[in-house]
Structure 1
Amino acid sequence: MKALRQNGFAYQAVYRYLNLLIDESDSDRTVRLPSLRHLADRLNVSISTIQYAYSLLEKEGRVFSVAKSGYYAQTAPSLISTGSADDLLEAVYVNARRAGMCVLSADDPASLQPLDSPLLMLERELLRQYPRQPLPQMQPCGELELRTVLAARYTTCAVNGWQADDVYIGADLRGVLEILISVLQLRGATVLIESPCDWMILRLFQAFEVQVIELPLQTDGGLDPQRLASLLASERVGLVVLSSVLNMPHGSISPQANRQVIAQLLANHGTWVLENDSCSELADVPHVQRLREWVDPDRLLIFSAFDRIIGAEAPYGFVLSRQWRSELQRYFLLRSFRLSAARQKAIARLLASGRVDQHLQVLRRLLKERRTQLIQLLRERLGEAVQIIDPQGGATVWMHSVRPVDMSEVFHGLLKQQVVIAPGELFSLNGHYAHHLRLSPICHSEHDLATVVGLVGDALRLAPGG
């Protein structure tokens, strides 16, 4: 106990001691815990310190008090086995799907205001209008109407113009990116990505044995041009993966001058660029010039998906590329995605009619309101204990603990209280961001956000140093 007290405040040591005591108890029955005086004598601390530790546990729902009787351990719901105790991402996924969990780990902006209902209504209308059409000509790269609308949406001038034949639509974003990895022959190659980066992209590269070099974002959301130039000169970089405008999960928008300098560097080296456009529409300032405005369009590929802005009923991913046409067509044909033609037509008409753009205005406002509320609560409850990147769009908040803590311990501690967070280490393959975490203010549960933020704050304060 003395050793524990030397590593933190006395109440933190008592809190951890009681947690161990509860975890070791028989969960099939209610267990009476030691009295305040008994614990104070045993641990050589004041009764008020014991009382404070018990009050924290009571607030978390781990213990309850009975008048004139004492404190008792509250049986906690068992956690679902993840199959691999060391796979933190698997633990996040599995526990986020448990009933009754407060999920702060998700990045699902459209769930706040989905367009699913208008989409399905339009699809049913199309099916009524054309009930007995002959089987359509096979379109392995996606419905022509949707590809045409997307090509027009991405065309900004004669130089940066796209055609329907440059657009390829797949069942989901992961499937599209798997095809790109095969087409670009990236297995065993070196790819440079901005960091932190979406865990789906990182795990996909890892699965295909792609060598990943992480280039950290600066505080303002830009990249260090000198470091990029050095990497391009010293490494055989086959592809650079960069955000179009909004860097997620960082939440920043890179300065325009920085984007121009980076684009010029890439052009000088003749590097292929894969632009991540999946979050651009969620930037608070929507009309910001994209990275692609300065990149050679003949060395550029762009990927995105519909589910972030429309909802779960529009899971399709897509990619735009002027080059690799025969290879992309062959891989999409071999993959044979089974996509609903009516659903794709409905998405195309939502885009062409301006309905999606109207929806985005509302969604951006709602997301900003939720983020602002979360940030205010974090600053009220945690003060200077954390540093927060003020997000300029999206559905999440990126932050890190000023005191180095073991964020995986924070994650597992919050799981016991039915709260799921996204530890920062998930957003790097090289062990970066161990003291960071990403939180989402969109939680569709009965939990009060202020209460949950209080639990996160307590978990950070009580976590052992990392």
Structure 2
Amino acid sequence: MKGPRETDFAYQAVYRYLSGLIGETVSHTRMRLPSLRELAERLNVSISTIQYAYSLLEKEGRVYSVAKSGYYAPPAPAINTLYSSNDLLESVYVNARRPGMLVLSGDDPALLQPIDSPLLLLERELLRQYPRQPQPNSQPCGELELRMALAARYTASPVRCWHADDVYIGADLRGVLEILIAVLGLKDATVVIESPCDWGILRLLQTAGVRLIEWPLRADGSLDREHLKDLLETEPVRLVMVSSGLNMPRGSQAPEENRRAIAQLLQRHDCWVLENDCYGELAFESEGLRFRDLLAPERLIVFSTFEKIVGPEAPYGYLLSRHLAVEWQRHFLLRAFRLSPIRQKALARLYSNGRIDQHLQLLRRRLKDSKEQMTQLLCERMGDTLQIVEPEGGATVWVRTLPRVDVREVFQRLLKHQVVIAPGELFSLQGLHTQHLRLSHSFGSDHDLATALGLLGDALRRASIE
């Protein structure tokens, strides 16, 4: 496993090994996977390498973790057998990965306009430039060149500036957020979070024992200032999580005046502000001021991932913070993420030579074209059954069913036709958005899309009649 040309990419070999292990068994019950320590001894690699490989599989929905128990592979029924579970999220994950399914539940913007070829080409060039060292200098918070590139990208003025020492890079977004929960002491603390919110973030916070209060967006996409004011005055709020500008899955942006009012309110209260910037560069048009442009940096932390704009070849998560440096460094050292320095250098070069900006221009254009095609088809085929929130960015469309229907029933009906959707209740822990759906507009062929939407329309009409 530790051959002369494999050390930096050992996680890839572990990932392939685990993929084979998962694929060996067809079972109607979940399969417990080997522990981190057991696999590290079996494969002769570090525990952090095993953890990184598991995190990639978890991101793909092929494994999931159970606190104090370990990692499990979801039940893997025979190919021609539909999978049903009381856990809606698990059911979405498993069925979306069955062969032959039309997946309307995904959210992978980068797949529409990949940048993997330039990334891997740069990586090969860098491997020739940087001969391997037996014991390379450890950079537990990420490669310095990439941290410098990110700091420069986020710097907006001499006051709102960032330095490499303010940037921390981890194996994936989940690992970075787990460190954030530990450093800020969020277990049993009260956190206010925009709703709807990404299901991965919701489940992570829930598992960590965080007390979540959802802060629903208004129908026009604006943030409810009075609701937040009440929460800040009546609850022991430790942290408020906001989108940098583009809220996903809704795909809308709060008006700039509304954002300014929220920022002014947050400045008057002693709580951390966590800015979710995962989709910050995927707005179709200029996104205007972000919360980090409006808030003093004393209580501000920003987190994001490369995956939404680069793709699965760059699963790393990162955060920016000008405070708690000793605690961040200690936790990143304890976690000991094993990241490829060469791939990080290649990413840094894509930023510094302007390739990321060129890529983003093409990606936004393709996403916008794909969105327009999708919304046109939705209006033509389901204008009487759906209300569409016009997306301002991203790779999905947020819709509300006009007749009141059981969306779970619609989900089950579509599975029988090999179509997977994402019911809105996945994006809330408090029973919100039960009449909503998130639909991907960046998948498959035009024929597949038209077919899937036709089946969705039929399922909605049947559910509304019954």
TM-score by length of 1: 0.81
Q: What letter matches 2:188 in structure 1? A: G
Alpha-carbon distance between aligned partners in 1 of 2:242 and 2:281, rounded to the nearest angstrom? 16
SS in 1 for 2:366: helix
Q: What letter matches 2:235 in structure 1? A: E
Report if aligned partners of 1:79, 1:95 keep a CA contact under 8 Å in 2. no
Alpha-carbon distance between aligned partners in 2 of 1:427 and 1:275, rounded to the nearest angstrom? 18
Report if aligned partners of 1:404, 1:465 keep a CA contact under 8 Å in 2. no
Q: What letter matches 1:383 in structure 2? A: G
Q: CA deviation at 1:443?
A: 1.8
Q: What letter matches 2:352 in structure 1? A: A
Q: CA deviation at 1:341?
A: 0.2
Encode CA deviations 1:240-264: one digit per residue, 9 max, x unaligned: 0000010101110111111111011
RMSD: 1.5
Q: CA deviation at 1:131?
A: 2.1
Q: CA deviation at 1:451?
A: 1.6
Partner in structure 2 of residue 330 of structure 1: 330
Partner in structure 2 of residue 79 of structure 1: 81
Q: CA deviation at 1:193?
A: 0.5
Partner in structure 2 of residue 364 of structure 1: 364
SS in 1 for 2:286: coil
Q: What letter matches 1:166 in structure 2? A: D
Alpha-carbon distance between aligned partners in 2 of 1:78 and 1:407, rounded to the nearest angstrom? 24
Partner in structure 2 of residue 417 of structure 1: 417
Find the structure with the greater CA-based Rg: 1
Partner in structure 1 of residue 215 of structure 2: 215
Alpha-carbon distance between aligned partners in 1 of 2:361 and 2:220, rounded to the nearest angstrom? 25
Q: Do residues 249 (structure 1) and 249 (structure 2) align? A: yes
Unpaired segments ≥5 residues, structure 1: 1-75
Alpha-carbon distance between aligned partners in 2 of 1:377 and 1:132, rounded to the nearest angstrom? 53
Partner in structure 1 of residue 129 of structure 2: 129
SS in 2 for 1:138: coil
Encode CA deviations 1:146-190: one digit per residue, 9 max, x unaligned: 001100110000111111010000000011001100111101111
Report if aligned partners of 1:280, 1:286 keep a CA contact under 8 Å in 2. no
Alpha-carbon distance between aligned partners in 1 of 2:142 and 2:130, rounded to the nearest angstrom? 19
Partner in structure 1 of residue 151 of structure 2: 151
Unpaired segments ≥5 residues, structure 2: 1-77
Q: CA deviation at 1:287?
A: 4.8
Partner in structure 1 of residue 226 of structure 2: 226
Q: What letter matches 1:253 in structure 2? A: Q
Report which stretch shifted further, 403-412 or 220-229.
220-229
Q: What letter matches 1:458 in structure 2? A: D
Partner in structure 1 of residue 399 of structure 2: 399
SS in 1 for 2:451: helix
Q: Do residues 264 (structure 1) and 242 (structure 2) align? A: no
Q: What letter matches 1:88 in structure 2? A: L
Report which stretch shifted further, 225-234 or 129-138.
129-138
Q: How does 1:53-452 map to 2 (within 5 A)?
A: 78-81=80-83, 85-133=85-133, 135-444=135-444, 448-452=448-452
Alpha-carbon distance between aligned partners in 1 of 2:266 and 2:197, rounded to the nearest angstrom? 20
Q: CA deviation at 1:447?
A: 5.2
Percent of paired sites with the same residue:
62
Q: CA deviation at 1:465?
A: 7.5
Q: What letter matches 2:81 in structure 1? A: L
Change in 2 beyond 3 A, CA 1:283/1:454: same
Q: What letter matches 1:79 in structure 2? A: T
Q: CA deviation at 1:219?
A: 2.4
Q: CA deviation at 1:77?
A: 6.4
Alpha-carbon distance between aligned partners in 1 of 2:388 and 2:464, rounded to the nearest angstrom? 21
Q: CA deviation at 1:145?
A: 0.5
Alpha-carbon distance between aligned partners in 2 of 1:228 and 1:94, rounded to the nearest angstrom? 37
Q: CA deviation at 1:288?
A: 1.5
Encode CA deviations 1:384-418: one digit per residue, 9 max, x unaligned: 32110000000000001011111111111101111
Alpha-carbon distance between aligned partners in 1 of 2:349 and 2:171, rounded to the nearest angstrom? 19
Encode CA deviations 1:13-35: one digit per residue, 9 max, x unaligned: xxxxxxxxxxxxxxxxxxxxxxx
SS in 1 for 2:442: coil
Alpha-carbon distance between aligned partners in 1 of 2:132 and 2:89, rounded to the nearest angstrom? 46
Q: What letter matches 1:341 in structure 2? A: P
Change in 2 beyond 3 A, CA 1:80/1:459: closer
Alpha-carbon distance between aligned partners in 2 of 1:179 and 1:197, rounded to the nearest angstrom? 20
Q: CA deviation at 1:99?
A: 0.7
Report if aligned partners of 1:95, 1:420 keep a CA contact under 8 Å in 2. yes
